[in-house]
Structure 1
Amino acid sequence: MQAEPLILSFDTSAAHCAAALLRGDTLLAARTEEMSRGQAERLMPIMQEMMSDQGVSWADLDAIGVGIGPGNFTGIRISVSAARGLALARKIPAIGVSNFEILREGQSAGREIVSVAAPRDQVYLQLFDQGAPAAKPVHFDPEAPDTALTVLGAQRVIGAQAERIASLLGIAQALPCEMAKVPERIARIAARKLATQTDHARPAPLYIRAADAAPPSDAPPVILD
């Protein structure tokens, strides 16, 4: 009898460093450390400590689940790069999971808009239909709402500022919720994708709007011959 797959998941798309281990339906371990910086240095030690506590090694892993955002630009790159490297080294799938998927995890299937918090009290929205993304995510400013989104035919809004967005778009049902159990949900979503999909594209950062950081204004150095 084949053993249930062992999945390592992790996320650094927000001000945290989070990881989990899932075997089949059983959550073996989950750790989240709040931090605004230093994720690149802390991510691998957290995962190694967690696996050592469970008596498993990198060679035991069957798949990687990784958070792809939207979120902090640098944080997303840290996790995605780590996932790609581990998958390449171990010759196992790396499966990207978006924050939209994390937010709607556990909800009944329908046609809904999922809302992820964005900087300056704005949000990112994505339409889901029967549990799967049905359109590309968009940036949404509640102070200048794009009412054209009403044509999407969503029956509810899930996530950040759900009640406000539902009111703006004339949608009857709102289910406010926040990001929770992030690494565990990434692992469970990745496990479903592993079981139902045969082709797993390499995870890639989900960027919806440009970075806020401006390029340096200093003059470039003079190159001497």
Structure 2
Amino acid sequence: MTKLPLTLGFDTSGAYCAAALLRGTEVIASANEDMARGQAERIMPLIEEVLTAGGATWQDLSAIGVGIGPGNFTGIRISVAAARGLGLALRIPIVGVSHFEALALGYDAPVVCTVAAPRAKLYAQTMNDGTAAKAVLCDLDSLSLPDPTLKAAGLGSHAEQIADLTGGPVVAPQYSVEEAIARQAMLRMHDIDLQPPAPMYLRPADAAPSRHAAPVILAETQQ
């Protein structure tokens, strides 16, 4: 009997810690915990709990999927750094999955995927419309919409507003974010062009510039 691949997906790009474990296409364990902070301390224990619930160990994994955003800067860095470390240690494929790819999984028709962003803005990307739509940070008034004849569906945080603009339906994600990330990893783990996961940042960091003077670089003195 062919051994089914065991795929882990996890994400901390929002106010949560989430992980799911698939054997083949079946979810055998998952967890999603709401939390505004503390993901750095919680994500690895959460993953280990999911592995234990699924009767698996790290060495059993065939591939890992990780959420790359857009979303919370710190949360994205936590997950991506963890995934890169695991890839080096386990020597298995690590697949970066955007929140848009997770939302759109299972839909073949055009959908405008949206994720809430700070300051009443949104992250958005049109999927499945036959073009290479770029992910953007915008507001509803400045969002570039697909061809009106496509009647693209609204999906995600601003689904109803998008549907009003496109004339399409409002649809819900077919999978939880953690399950969708694991499924994307399962589908893409054998991609020969697979690149290491990298954060998807669509806005500048909120950190204020330092008020201290820049360090002085001293020229090397000759002996």
TM band (smaller chain): 0.7 to 0.9
Residue 106 of structure 2 is aligned to residue 106 of structure 1: yes
3-state secondary structure, aligned to 2:198: coil
Work out whether residues 17 and 43 of structure 2, in 8 Å CA contact, stay in contact via their aligned partners in 1. Answer: yes
CA-to-aligned-CA distance 1:148-173 (integer Å, 9 cap, x gap)? 545587531322222323444xx210
CA distance change for structure 1 residues 37 and 4 in 2, over 3 Å: closer, same or farther? same
CA distance change for structure 1 residues 33 and 6 in 2, over 3 Å: closer, same or farther? same
- Pairwise mapping of residues 190-205 of structure 1 onto structure 2 (< 5 A)? 190-194=185-189, 197-205=191-199
Match for residue 217 of structure 1?
Answer: 211
Give the AA of the match of 1:163: E
> Quick one: distance in 1 between partners of 2:198 and 2:150?
27
3-state secondary structure, aligned to 1:145: coil
> Quick one: distance in 2 between partners of 1:90 and 1:182?
23
Match for residue 33 of structure 1?
Answer: 33
Q: Please give the TM-score of this superposition, normalised by the length of structure 1.
A: 0.84
3-state secondary structure, aligned to 1:198: coil
Match for residue 160 of structure 2?
Answer: 163
CA-to-aligned-CA distance 1:179-202 (integer Å, 9 cap, x gap)? 96221121112212226x333111
Q: CA deviation at 1:220?
A: 6.2
Equivalent pairs, count: 217
> Quick one: distance in 2 between partners of 1:85 and 1:193?
19
Match for residue 5 of structure 2?
Answer: 5
3-state secondary structure, aligned to 1:114: strand
Match for residue 183 of structure 1?
Answer: 178
> Quick one: distance in 2 between partners of 1:129 and 1:150?
10
CA distance change for structure 1 residues 180 and 2 in 2, over 3 Å: closer, same or farther? closer
Q: CA deviation at 1:212?
A: 2.1
> Quick one: distance in 2 between partners of 1:26 and 1:100?
22
What is the aligned-residue RMSD (CA, Å)? 2.6
Where in structure 1 are there 5+ consecutive unaligned residues? none
Work out whether residues 84 and 94 of structure 2, in 8 Å CA contact, stay in contact via their aligned partners in 1. Answer: yes
3-state secondary structure, aligned to 2:40: helix
Match for residue 135 of structure 1?
Answer: 133
Identity of matched residues, %: 50
Match for residue 43 of structure 1?
Answer: 43
Q: Please give the TM-score of this superposition, normalised by the length of structure 2.
A: 0.85
